[in-house]
């Protein structure tokens, strides 16, 4: 799960878009250590550190005021009281180099800061929400990118006058599309991840989801891009000043290059010093960017995508159901618009109910509409899905009222993370690799249940123990990539029950696990469900799992419900040919998994 969880569960980060990928996973300390092991990274840090020190200590280190002009000491060679000589106005070159470092680094930081301030938030919002803001910001970005930077800077200089700071602010605006696109693409690559869904479903606010799960994905690419952008800003700034368009009253390396170039035949060394300084600092930024990329690429994690986000349905008044079941699905139909017009109905006329303290299996082959039915209840259908008919009631209140075309997120919100829980199919991809197992469990309990940090941690350990994790304290400190798939699924189950939900929806919870682990996880689920008295929907394609754990079963084929009833009755005398076919394929050993294997239908009953 994500930080939240319960209807919950999250996964790994990744990154994708950016050349670098992600972040996610690994601890920052680990990335930092790798950076320090990289000679390129160390060299860059040392060089930039020296430049930074020069900038900070310029007042102390510089022997002269950088603008003090001594017309009796023009273009002096290095030596004497002027260590690196003097320029055409008799100003001390060493002093100007030191103060120039300050202006150069600050202006680079200003350009990068402005670009980040514009590009990062707009990219996050556009990538996460899409919609009209995405269109508008994309459009603005395209316009900005189409503008020739140098011409714009020259025009600004002509309009406002020579100012390093104004130039860098404008340059920052021109650079912001780079950040916008980087962020937007990275966010789009993870916004449909299971752990983001899980966080959403668990009741976390969008702000918190973006801050905790989405931002971690863009953090590394942004840092790398910033290293590059600083180098570019310095080169552009120097180029403008070299052309004589800088502020002559401000000591900068670009102004020094310009002066040195004009006097290249009289004192060529005057051109050399600022050129070395500019080259070294730009080179150091590039090296730093590359080293950061290398260290983070090593730590990159893979992940899988899935369709997702919950649609924003119009809110209709909540009505009370006439017949009281914990969950009641009536004549549900789900459809998708087709490119050529019309709709494809993927769930049609499905009705069933779930009561407290019972497990209802939804069984059927791949593509039979099981997950679409489950996701309808959870409000996790893709944006383009339409509830084409029917109603869903939870504990007497409508999640989808008759006539509505989507799940009401407003009505789901108070249930998520409290009364509804979700256990997904792929445990590893449902844990955010950037956070420890303990954090996955504790944070949602803090946010959604309002527990204190200590209480949430203690409960997390209890939960881990309750799902059969042998060393809860150690596991709580581990990152997802440090535990097995079976343990990850147990963790997700722990997260799902953390809020004492009334209803758990488990979507093929054992499919991704080794056969030996599947039975153990089913045991854990069965034990917890019975102990806590929850209602449970178990989505599966495996009749063995149904026989093992369910009280009632709903059989689906091609989006329709073909048969439902008590598990024993259906196993003993299935009335629909499709059910018989599913059962016989299990009995032929095609789904080797549970204790039911090889057993005749009669034997199944005995086994139960
Ligand atoms: N986003 C979508 N757009 C269009 N059709 C979809 C979409 N998602 C699912 N479907 C279709 O809905 C049908 C039911 O899919 P669903 O995922 O519910 O099947 P399932 O029984 O859960 O199978 P599986 O076990 O393979 O997930 C399938 O035919 C599938 O192609």
| pLDDT reading at 49 higher than 70 | yes
The rounded distance, in Å, linking the Cα atoms of 121 and 418 is 31
Average confidence (pLDDT) over 6-21: 31
434 part of a folded domain: no
- 3-state SS of 237-289? HHHHHHCCCCCCCCCCHHHHHHHHHHCCCCCCHHHHHHHHHHHHHHHHHHHHH
Tell me the per-residue pLDDT of 197-251, one tens digit each, with 9 for 90 and over.
766 666 667 777 777 777 777 777 888 888 888 888 888 888 888 887 777 778 8
Average confidence (pLDDT) over 499-515: 81
Same domain membership, residue 401 and residue 269? no
Distance 368 CA to ligand 1 centre (A): 7
346 lines ligand 1 (CB under 6 A): yes
308 lines ligand 1 (CB under 6 A): no
Tell me the per-residue pLDDT of 123-179, one tens digit each, with 9 for 90 and over.
888 888 877 888 888 888 888 888 888 888 888 888 887 788 888 899 899 989 988
Same domain membership, residue 343 and residue 292? no
Distance 404 CA to ligand 1 centre (A): 21
372 lines ligand 1 (CB under 6 A): yes
489 part of a folded domain: no
Average confidence (pLDDT) over 387-415: 83
374 CA: nearest ligand 1 atom: 18
Domain span including residue 167: 28-62+87-299
424 lines ligand 1 (CB under 6 A): no
Structural element, H or E, at residue 393? strand 386-394
42 part of a folded domain: yes
Question: Whose CA is closest to atom 12 on ligand 1?
Answer: 346
Which of 261, 281, 299 is the last residue in one of the domains? 299
> Shortest CA distance to 352 belongs to which of 505, 202, 501, 496?
505
398 part of a folded domain: yes
Q: Are 217 and 18 in contact (CB under 8 A)?
A: no
The rounded distance, in Å, linking the Cα atoms of 480 and 171 is 41
The rounded distance, in Å, linking the Cα atoms of 499 and 595 is 31
558 lines ligand 1 (CB under 6 A): no
Distance 370 CA to ligand 1 centre (A): 8
**CB count, 10 Å around CB of 455?**
14
CATH code of residue 104: 1.10.3720.10
CATH code of residue 392: 3.40.50.300
Question: Whose CA is closest to atom 30 on ligand 1?
Answer: 367
**Structural domain count of the chain:** 2
- 3-state SS of 294-343? HHHHHHCCCCCCCCCCCCCCCCCCCCECCCCCCEEEEEEEEEEECCCCCE
368 lines ligand 1 (CB under 6 A): yes
437 part of a folded domain: no
191 lines ligand 1 (CB under 6 A): no
85 lines ligand 1 (CB under 6 A): no
Same domain membership, residue 255 and residue 160? yes
Distance 558 CA to ligand 1 centre (A): 10
Beta strand 503-507 with 552-557 is: unpaired
pLDDT band at residue 498, thresholds of 50, 70 and 90? confident
Q: Which of 155-169, 311-325, 442-456, 542-556 has the lowest mean pLDDT?
A: 311-325
Residue 270: CA count within 13 A, CB half-sphere: 28
Question: Whose CA is closest to atom 8 on ligand 1?
Answer: 372
Distance 432 CA to ligand 1 centre (A): 25
444 lines ligand 1 (CB under 6 A): no
pLDDT band at residue 547, thresholds of 50, 70 and 90? confident
Question: Whose CA is closest to atom 1 on ligand 1?
Answer: 382
pTM of the entire structure?
Answer: 0.54
Question: Whose CA is closest to atom 18 on ligand 1?
Answer: 369
Q: Which two tokens stand for residue 26?
A: 């690994």
Same domain membership, residue 258 and residue 121? yes
Distance 323 CA to ligand 1 centre (A): 30
Same domain membership, residue 248 and residue 120? yes
Q: Across the chain, what does the average pLDDT equal?
A: 78
φ, ψ for residue 295 (rounded to 5)? -70, -35
Distance 270 CA to ligand 1 centre (A): 71
Average confidence (pLDDT) over 557-581: 88
Q: How large is the angle between the packed helices 269-299 and 28-37, nearest 10 degrees? A: 130
The rounded distance, in Å, linking the Cα atoms of 331 and 399 is 14
Same domain membership, residue 287 and residue 337? no
> Shortest CA distance to 512 belongs to which of 607, 423, 395?
423
Same domain membership, residue 135 and residue 45? yes
Same domain membership, residue 377 and residue 269? no
Same domain membership, residue 227 and residue 172? yes
Q: Are 105 and 111 in contact (CB under 8 A)?
A: no
Same domain membership, residue 345 and residue 277? no
The rounded distance, in Å, linking the Cα atoms of 213 and 431 is 11
- Ligand 1 pocket test target in 307, 332, 369, 510 with most atoms within 8 Å of CB: 369
71 part of a folded domain: no
Contacts from 82-86 at CB under 8 Å and sequence distance 24+?
A: 84/269, 84/273, 85/267, 85/269, 85/270
pLDDT band at residue 117, thresholds of 50, 70 and 90? very high
* pLDDT in the model for residue 362: 93
The rounded distance, in Å, linking the Cα atoms of 578 and 563 is 9
Structural element, H or E, at residue 394? strand 386-394
316 part of a folded domain: no
The rounded distance, in Å, linking the Cα atoms of 372 and 382 is 10
- 3-state SS of 528-567? HHHHHCCEEEEEECCHHHHHHHCCEEEEEECCEEEEEEEH
- Ligand 1 pocket test target in 371, 542, 559 with most atoms within 8 Å of CB: 371
> Which residue is listed with tokens 């390129």?
40
Question: Whose CA is closest to atom 22 on ligand 1?
Answer: 371
- Ligand 1 pocket test target in 305, 333, 336, 346 with most atoms within 8 Å of CB: 346
DSSP code, position 507: E
Query: In the chain, pLDDT over 90 holds for what percent of residues?
Result: 12
560 lines ligand 1 (CB under 6 A): no
Same domain membership, residue 340 and residue 287? no
For the chain, give the number of residues: 608
* pLDDT in the model for residue 81: 82
57 part of a folded domain: yes
511 lines ligand 1 (CB under 6 A): no
Q: Are 533 and 357 in contact (CB under 8 A)?
A: yes
Same domain membership, residue 34 and residue 161? yes
């Amino acid at each position: 799960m994500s930080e939240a969880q319960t209807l919950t569960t999250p996964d790994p980060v990744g990154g994708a878009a950016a050349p670098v990928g992600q972040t996610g996973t690994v601890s920052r300390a680990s990335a930092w250590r790798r950076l320090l092991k990289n000679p390129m990274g160390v060299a860059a840090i040392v060089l930039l550190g020296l430049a930074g020190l020069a900038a900070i200590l310029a007042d102390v280190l510089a022997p002269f005021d950088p603008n003090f002009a001594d017309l009796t000491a023009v273009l002096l060679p290095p030596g004497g009281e002027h260590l690196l000589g003097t320029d055409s106005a008799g100003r001390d070159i060493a002093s100007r180099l030191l103060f120039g470092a300050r202006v150069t680094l600050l202006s680079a930081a200003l350009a990068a800061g402005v670009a980040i301030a514009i590009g990062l938030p707009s990219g996050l919002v556009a990538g996460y929400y899409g919609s009209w803001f995405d269109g508008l910001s994309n459009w603005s970005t395209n316009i900005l990118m189409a503008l020739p930077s140098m011409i714009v800077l020259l025009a600004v200089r002509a309009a406002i006058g020579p100012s390093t700071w104004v130039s860098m602010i404008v340059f920052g605006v021109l650079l912001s599309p780079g950040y916008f696109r980087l962020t937007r693409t990275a966010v789009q690559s993870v916004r449909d991840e299971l752990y983001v869904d899980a966080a959403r479903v668990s009741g976390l606010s969008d702000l918190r989801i973006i801050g905790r799960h989405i931002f971690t994905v863009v953090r590394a690419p942004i840092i790398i891009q910033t290293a590059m952008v600083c180098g570019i800003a310095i080169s552009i700034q120097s180029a403008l000043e070299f052309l004589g368009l800088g502020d002559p009253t401000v000591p900068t390396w670009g102004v020094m290059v310009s002066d040195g170039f004009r006097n290249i035949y009289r004192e060529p060394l005057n051109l050399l010093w600022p050129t070395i300084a500019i080259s070294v600092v730009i080179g150091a930024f590039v090296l730093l960017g590359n080293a950061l990329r290398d260290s983070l690429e090593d730590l990159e994690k893979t992940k899988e995508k899935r369709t997702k986000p919950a649609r924003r349905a119009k809110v209709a008044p909540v009505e009370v159901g006439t017949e009281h079941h914990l969950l009641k699905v009536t004549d549900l139909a789900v459809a998708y618009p087709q490119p050529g017009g019309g709709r494809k109905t993927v769930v049609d006329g499905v009705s069933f109910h779930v009561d407290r303290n019972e497990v209802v299996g939804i069984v059927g082959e791949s593509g039979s509409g099981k997950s679409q039915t489950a996701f309808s209840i959870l409000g996790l259908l893709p944006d383009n899905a339409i509830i084409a008919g029917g109603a869903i009631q939870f504990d007497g209140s409508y999640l989808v009222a008759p006539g509505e075309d989507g799940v009401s997120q407003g009505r789901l919100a108070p249930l998520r993370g409290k009364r509804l829980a979700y256990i997904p199919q792929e445990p590893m991809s449902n844990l955010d690799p950037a956070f420890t197992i303990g954090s996955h469990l504790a944070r949602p309990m803090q946010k959604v249940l309002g527990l204190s940090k200590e209480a949430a941690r203690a409960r997390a350990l209890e939960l881990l123990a309750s799902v059969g994790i042998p060393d809860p304290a150690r596991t709580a400190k581990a990152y997802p990539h440090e535990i097995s798939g079976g343990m990850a699924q147990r963790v997700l189950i722990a997260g799902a029950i953390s809020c004492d939900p009334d209803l758990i929806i488990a979507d093929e919870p054992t499919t991704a696990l080794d056969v030996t682990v599947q039975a153990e996880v089913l045991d854990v689920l069965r034990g917890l469900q019975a102990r806590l008295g929850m209602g449970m929907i178990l989505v599966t394609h495996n009749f063995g799992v149904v026989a093992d754990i369910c009280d009632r079963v709903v059989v689906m084929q091609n989006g329709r419900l073909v048969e439902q009833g008590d598990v024993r009755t259906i196993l003993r005398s299935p009335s629909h040919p499709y059910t018989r076919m599913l059962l016989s394929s299990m009995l032929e050993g095609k789904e080797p998994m549970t204790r039911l294997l090889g057993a005749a239908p009669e034997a199944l009953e005995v086994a139960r």
